[in-house]
A and B are shown apart, each in its own frame.
Chain A
Amino acid sequence: MRIEEKLAILADAAKYDVSCSSSGGTRKNVGKGLGNSHVSGICHSYTEDGRCVSLLKILLTNHCIYDCAFCVSRRSNDIRRAAFKVQEVVDLTLNFYRRNYIEGLFLSSGIFKSADYTMERLLQIVKKLRTEERFHGYIHLKTIPGASEQLVREAGLYADRMSINLELPTEAGLKLLAPEKSHDEVKRPLDWVNKSMIQLNEERRVMRHVPKFVPAGQSTQLVVGASEESDKDILYTADRFYRDYGLKRVYYSGYIPVSKDSRLPGIGSPPPLLRENRLYQTDWLMRFYGFEVSELLDDAHPFLDTAIDPKLSWALRHPQEFPIDVNSADYRMILRVPGIGVGSAQKIVQARKFGKLRFDQLRKIGVALNRARHFIRCPDSVVTMREISPNEIRQHILSAQARRFSPTQLTLF
């Protein structure tokens, strides 16, 4: 098979893994080798679906002994199969990297023969890149479920990030769609790697030359919309994994139908992109805005509001917290105002040391006033006669958004 065909098949099979982050690496180019890490990562291109292309994301092979219903490479699926040789992956990675196409390699694989056999091959590739080719670019390596602890730990010495996908947010969903797999198989390697990271970090405090070990941390992926989970199920699971295994990221992947299986949404049904977006927004609120997941979702509200973003939704449910005075409120509360992001919040806290801030200055700083103005007070705030109810605010913001996004003029009748 020609290398072009192989690349086509094995890129096609790998693309449903959404992680393409190349940030968090700390590798420097030592001794005139090739490559280094960029602290914030670099997206070298964007596909027509608007997703970032940072890494050469491929499977080593799409042969697989498992039959997970949601996976395009499941053994019962009638598709073309291919496998790279070790040297082919090395050559592709280096030649793409030298032309500044990519930040590095994202290597995953279907499981052929056995988990250990597969993991060993992956290990061979990353080892060769690091030791023989002196490649210091980014490597994201998938952990193969069921691989031995020794192989997983050794891989950690060469990879910048390791990940293993939970896929279904609940054990029940997994039992239904991938009965050969279990959440435990995912938790075990996450735990090994996490413990090694913690241990090496402690050693680093007292010793100088401790080897790098998964410097960009671990991540996992949850498939959204393949089974019946609520947003609460998904985000509570994510929250637990962030806590238990110190994950850097949880990815949410709107399920794209690849099977006629009656247990799954049919081929052609659109992926739940808006829901996916709201999940990411909530994930951000948990990681960067100081929200607890229980503040955003609970038994009374198991699903996120799709019409408005989760921060606005939270603010409207807690009118007693607002309005706040931007010139005196603490950073924590400013972050909670809809329409104010981390960047603007930091600017506000810095800039107000030099004088009181007014609305026009906030706008220039980058605050989205169409949302924020309902929740803040400035010296030039208009005093209203009566309180506006949360529902009125919601309607107001929604209709302003509708005006902005529909270019057609309203008709009279």
Chain B
Amino acid sequence: MEIYVFDGSLVGLLSAVFTFYERKSAVVKLMREDDYQPDLLGGKVEVHSDHGKAARVWKGLVKHIGMEGLNRFYAAFLGEDAAGYQCLFDLSRYVFERGGDVMEDFGNAHVLFVSQLARKVHREKHRMEAFVRFQKMADGLFAATMEPDYNVLPLIRKHFTDRYADQRWLIYDRRRKYGLYYNGDCTEEVAVELAERVEKGDGVSLPQNLLAADEVLYQRLWKGYFNHTNIPARKNTQLHIRHIPKRYWRYLTEKFDLHL
């Protein structure tokens, strides 16, 4: 068995597929550099990320599974899952060896796993479209921090760009330490260190002295609205928590006392 070690990028993963056919390997275990431990059995093969090779594999995949299939492939990749990388690798082989659009072959373990991982990522993307809470800064910037389970910023970019076209905004992923910034014209990836406070009880907020004058009022209004639109006679805590898992509460104005 050979252990392919790649850099964790999409280009790296696709290059690994290319390398597999180039080297005519037999059994391959694929892992990220970060996950690799030298005492593992099997020879180590360092995969060199090569844009040219990756592009050829990408083109080959499009030919068989179409853009829709590739979107699913890409979403699963953003799942940053060790078993997921292996599955994407094995799925690519299945695509090239069987031919045709296999993305609906849910009886195949790789197809099903990739499809389910992509679904989880999409669910997280949808959650972020819902749970991002902007705070208006004194200079007019609408800023939000978050900590999604998966690397979903590339997937939510279009949604927020289309929606908030007339305000400058920033969405910052604390875990992956990068953000999306829309400057009123276009959206770009930025590596910023956003000044934030992590408060007692774990809430995350922006420093109050940097906020716009009416920001605290609107947070209070929203919180008040949230409490009054509830019907106590129908209380259902289990359902509430299923819909908003507790790990998101620290970023939600209505669930956490930020500046009140």
Contacts and interface: CB of A to CB of B under 8 A. Distances in A.
A170 B132 CA distance: 43
A34 B184 CA distance: 12
B106 A347 contact: yes
B192 interface: no
Interface string A126-146: 000000001000000000000
A194 to B, nearest CB: 29
Contacts of A92: 221
Contacts of B102: 354
Interface stretch (B53-61, B63-71, B162-170): B162-170
A50 B236 CA distance: 6
Interface residues of A, number: 55
Given A48-B235, A271-B234, A361 B131 contact: no
A8 B236 CA distance: 21
The CB with the most chain A CB atoms within 10 A, among B108, B126, B230, is that of B230
Interface string B232-260: 11111111101110000000111000000
A29 B226 CA distance: 27
A56 B244 CA distance: 18
A52 interface: yes
Contact of A48 (B104, B108, B218, B230): B230
Interface in A317-354: 347, 350-354
Given A7-B228, A29-B163, 7 more contacts: A12-B228, A34-B166, A49-B230, A49-B235, A98-B136, A99-B135, A101-B222
Nearest to A57: B229
6 contacts: A3-B221, A8-B224, A43-B243, A46-B244, A47-B240, A48-B237
B94 to A, nearest CB: 11
B165 to A, nearest CB: 4
B105 interface: yes
B107 A7 contact: no
Contacts of B129: 38, 42
B226 A47 contact: yes
Interface in A1-48: 3-4, 7-8, 11-12, 14-16, 28-29, 32-36, 38, 42-48
Given A29-B165, A51-B234, A354-B102, A100 B224 contact: no
A179 interface: no
A46 B237 contact: no
Interface of A: 3-4, 7-8, 11-12, 14-16, 28-29, 32-36, 38, 42-53, 56-57, 92, 95-96, 98-101, 134, 254, 256, 270-271, 273, 347, 350-355, 357, 361, 364-365
Contacts of A28: 162
B159 A38 contact: yes
A39 to B, nearest CB: 11
Given A12-B228, A48-B235, A364-B112, A4 B220 contact: yes
A28 B142 CA distance: 21
A351 B244 contact: no
B134 interface: yes
B231 A365 contact: no
B234 A49 contact: yes
A48 B133 contact: no
A42 B234 contact: no
Contacts of A34: 163-167
Nearest to B135: A99
A282 B93 CA distance: 44
Contacts of A347: 104, 106
B204 interface: no
A32 B166 contact: yes
A355 B107 contact: yes
A13 to B, nearest CB: 9
Interface in B184-242: 214, 218, 220-222, 224-226, 228-240, 242
